Amino acid sequence: MIRAFCALLAVAILAAAESPVLWYRQPAADWNQALPIGNGRLGGMVFGDTRNERIQFNEDTLWLGSSREMGSYQPFGDLLLTDPGTGAVEGYRRELDLGQGIASIAFTRDGVGYRRECFASAVDQVLVVRLSADRPNAISTRIRLTDTHQATIAAGADYLSATGRLSNGLDYEARVLIQIEGGTLVAGTDALEVQQADAATIILAAGTSFANDVERHWRGDPPNKGVLAQATAAAAKSYADLRKTHVEDHQRLFNRVCLDLGGAPVSPTDERLVAYRAGTADPALEALLFQYGRYLLMGSSRPGDLPATLQGIWNQDLKPAWYCAYTTNINVQMNYWLAEPTALPECHEPLLDWIRTLAAVRKRVDIPKLRTTAGWLIYSTNNAMGGGSTWRVHQPGPAWLSQHLWAHYAFGGDRDYLRNDAYPVLKELSEYWLGHLVPDADGRLISPTGWSPEHGPAGDPHMKTQPGASYDQQIVWELFTNTIAAASELGIDADFRAQVSAARDRLLGPRIGRWGQLQEWREDRDDPQDQHRHTSHLFAVFPGQQITPKKSPEFAQAAAVSLTARGTTGDSSRSWTWPWRGAVWARLREGNKAHDMVRGLLAKNTLHNLFTTYPPFQIDGNFGITAAMTEMLLQSHERQDGAYVLDLLPALPAAWPDGDVAGLRARGGFTVSMTWRGGRLTAAAITSLAGNPVCIKSREHSEVVSIPGGATWHMPSAPDSNHTETP
């Protein structure tokens, strides 16, 4: 009986879970309350007004700028629906079903039940809007297409189009096709009128002349043919088929992971958030936020697309904060911390592709007087074409980004990818740092132009470089460690491996200061009253692996002292500060403190549509908190005698006494599902994809087991009753 239970654990968890839903009793009052849909490239914000619906849309290649000029990510336009109905609205409900990837509104007016469904199909590469009613001839609406950059708007018998060009020469086009069932479709000069139809399906396609290729100077074919082909192909399908293939594709990714922390919520999401801020416990809301991060990454980062920006793909501002771009001293990395451990490796690919593109660009467009050896340098903020803002050269930035290349291999185990894509970048960057580091008076290797983003020492308003700053030292240690591991995995470059290892051993390492803190600087000058938002000197705890409670308990304790001193108010209360600190607390095995960070984000820096806000809205908090919660449930960054260590429930907080999770991924190629009751692990099922040796740890026991590739190891409630099954 126990054996059968464990064999079906992951399936049972997934089957029992209800689709997570955000829902509301009223339309969005502004953009920050609208609900996002996206297919990785094309995104929309759905407002849900019964009479004047607005769907603001974006396309991920609509960028100003170039490889030499920063520019910014641009909004595209709006799809506007005007309903002539004037009766009183009853039973209104607006929702976003994360499990299906569909935003909808439903209401009754004059005895007629109306429903709108909106989704962004990755299969058909279009936005789809469906208008329906429970009585015939009830659908009447005026449809308009507007453009943010004064493009030419045209209307035909069944279509609307917007055609324009940005100031950097980028051509763009949007096209809307309307299909009706019953009724009449009337074309105007800039709008289409649906009159007394049974139902209507609206299809929106959009694209630009952007080509993700530096050799082509970022320009490809005009968008007209491609956009028209996408719209026409989608319009040839029935709405039922469009919806079915979209949901199947969406669930193929989304359903890989399920999290249940208990609770049966019945209130709207905004009301739950208000109650949560007042102190009401709501673990189900926290689980919803976890899955929302996965939903948003799926919606803003699919293979072949550009990476998710500071706002994913959702932006309505012509001059967005921080260019709505890629900031490399924490933000774009945080966007992707969740990709591998929450089973979305495909969604990681746009970042990995962009890193290689960025390297190619920066080698051509060099930062003057700084690149003296192999490698490449970047600015702190960059655009889709590798152009930088010119604010703060970020020398360790490429090394930090390369951590994602290694992680993609560590979780997936694709040796060809490691050999052809990841290792060449790791090696080149290691060569750069081997040539850039210098010895200090004690013979320790230090970065001569160190920095600790975005934090200068007290009294240093210009944030001058600080030799041996912990941030630089820790990132270089991580780079060297990953390079050594990659070369070892491939069995190559033994001499180079030895050179890197020797340099790593000489690096100036972590230091403990006068008040027990982990020093941010080489000198012991940290201010215990400093509550700066960045905790760059804790990189070695997370996302790095240099400091752990097991192998360096004294430094782990010092990191806890530093993190406590930074506080959680004022400058420390930002969209992305809570997740990073939550992940650090999780790595330090402080579950309750990690949960405090989850609670802080929801209570202080989360909007009613669950977007996280700096302010303004920044999506890194949404992505980062999912990663932090994953670290609370499962960690796999350590090795023991060559075996991957899977640490189950390492930082489980008291606020989550009972729960189930299915489908999490671990380094070494493992899928993990767990059940816990009363704060204790009661069952686990671990499937090995690659047959790597593994040490399974929990608070209850620890053991090294051998799981053949494709087999599943089961741990029921009794630790001595373990089983390994092969398919």
What residue type is assigned to position 10 of the chain?
Answer: A
Question: According to the model, what pLDDT value does residue 19 have?
Answer: 85
| 252 located within any domain | yes
| 512 located within any domain | no
Last residue within a domain, chosen from 209, 233, 258:
258
Residue 6 shares a structural domain with residue 146: no
Residue 6 shares a structural domain with residue 65: no
Residue 6 shares a structural domain with residue 101: no
Last residue within a domain, chosen from 238, 258, 278:
258
458 pLDDT higher than 70 = no
**Model pLDDT for residues 262-275, shown as the tens digit of each residue:** 988 889 999 999 99
Residue 355 · residue 303 · CB < 8 Å: no
Residue 230 shares a structural domain with residue 186: yes
721 pLDDT higher than 50 = no
Q: What is the 3-state secondary structure (H, E, C) of 225-264?
A: HHHHHHHHHHHCCCHHHHHHHHHHHHHHHHCCCEEECCCC
Q: How far is CA 273 from CA 14, 20, 246, 285, 318, in A?
A: 26, 15, 30, 8, 30
Question: According to the model, what pLDDT value does residue 266 have?
Answer: 87
Residue 672 · residue 342 · CB < 8 Å: no
Residue 185 shares a structural domain with residue 227: yes
Q: How confident is the model at residue 726 (pLDDT cuts 50, 70, 90)?
A: very low
**Model pLDDT for residues 663-703, shown as the tens digit of each residue:** 999 999 999 999 999 999 999 999 999 999 999 999 877 88
| 389 located within any domain | no
CATH number reported for the structural domain that contains residue 663 in this entry: 2.60.40.1180
442 pLDDT higher than 60 = yes
Q: How confident is the model at residue 723 (pLDDT cuts 50, 70, 90)?
A: low
Residue 6 shares a structural domain with residue 122: no
Residue 60 shares a structural domain with residue 6: no
Residue 6 shares a structural domain with residue 102: no
Residue of 681, 670, 600 whose CA lies nearest to 633: 681
Q: Give the range among 255-259, 303-307, 368-372 with minimum mean pLDDT.
A: 368-372
| 667 located within any domain | yes
List beta partners, residue 184. Answer: 195
Residue 93 shares a structural domain with residue 6: no
Q: How confident is the model at residue 447 (pLDDT cuts 50, 70, 90)?
A: very high
Question: According to the model, what pLDDT value does residue 719 have?
Answer: 41
Last residue within a domain, chosen from 213, 242, 258:
258
Question: According to the model, what pLDDT value does residue 372 have?
Answer: 54
**Model pLDDT for residues 555-577, shown as the tens digit of each residue:** 999 999 999 999 888 788 899 99
The tokens describing 265, both together, are 């919520």
**Model pLDDT for residues 103-151, shown as the tens digit of each residue:** 999 999 999 999 999 999 999 999 999 999 999 999 999 999 999 998 9
361 pLDDT higher than 60 = yes
Q: Give the range among 222-226, 375-379, 516-520 with minimum mean pLDDT.
A: 375-379
The tokens describing 432, both together, are 């750069």
Q: How confident is the model at residue 375 (pLDDT cuts 50, 70, 90)?
A: confident
Q: Give the range among 389-393, 397-401, 522-526 with minimum mean pLDDT.
A: 389-393
**Model pLDDT for residues 485-528, shown as the tens digit of each residue:** 999 999 999 999 999 999 999 999 999 999 999 999 999 999 99
What residue type is assigned to position 599 of the chain?
Answer: R
Question: According to the model, what pLDDT value does residue 374 have?
Answer: 79
The tokens describing 296, both together, are 């948003």
If you average pLDDT over residues 590-600, what whole number do you get?
98
Q: For the chain, how many structural domains are there in total? A: 2
Question: According to the model, what pLDDT value does residue 715 have?
Answer: 84
658 pLDDT higher than 70 = yes
Question: According to the model, what pLDDT value does residue 1 have?
Answer: 32
- What is the distance between the alpha carbons of residues 512 and 534, in angstroms, rounded to a whole number? 19
What residue type is assigned to position 549 of the chain?
Answer: P
Q: For the whole prediction, is pTM greater than 0.85?
A: yes
Residue 162 · residue 174 · CB < 8 Å: yes
| 495 located within any domain | no
Question: According to the model, what pLDDT value does residue 2 have?
Answer: 35
Residue of 569, 561, 560 whose CA lies nearest to 590: 560
Q: How confident is the model at residue 364 (pLDDT cuts 50, 70, 90)?
A: confident
- What is the distance between the alpha carbons of residues 249 and 284, in angstroms, rounded to a whole number? 25
| 401 located within any domain | no
| 428 located within any domain | no
Question: According to the model, what pLDDT value does residue 23 have?
Answer: 98
Radius of gyration of the chain (CA): 26
CATH number reported for the structural domain that contains residue 46 in this entry: 2.70.98.50
Q: How confident is the model at residue 716 (pLDDT cuts 50, 70, 90)?
A: low
Residue of 663, 626, 61 whose CA lies nearest to 385: 61
Residue 146 shares a structural domain with residue 250: yes
| 269 located within any domain | no
Domain span including residue 673: 2-10+644-725
**Model pLDDT for residues 15-60, shown as the tens digit of each residue:** 455 789 999 999 999 999 999 999 999 999 999 999 999 999 999 9
Instruction: Please state, rounded to an integer, the average pLDDT across all residues of the chain.
Output: 93
Q: Give the range among 320-334, 424-438, 522-536, 585-599 with minimum mean pLDDT.
A: 522-536
If you average pLDDT over residues 232-246, what whole number do you get?
98
Question: According to the model, what pLDDT value does residue 683 have?
Answer: 95
Residue length, the chain?
727
300 pLDDT higher than 90 = yes
Residue of 525, 596, 610, 589 whose CA lies nearest to 567: 596
Question: According to the model, what pLDDT value does residue 457 have?
Answer: 61
- What is the distance between the alpha carbons of residues 204 and 42, in angstroms, rounded to a whole number? 10
Q: How confident is the model at residue 3 (pLDDT cuts 50, 70, 90)?
A: very low
Residue 138 shares a structural domain with residue 210: yes
Residue 6 shares a structural domain with residue 131: no
**Model pLDDT for residues 207-221, shown as the tens digit of each residue:** 999 999 999 999 999
Q: How far is CA 233 from CA 55, 91, 161, 250, in A?
A: 22, 36, 16, 20
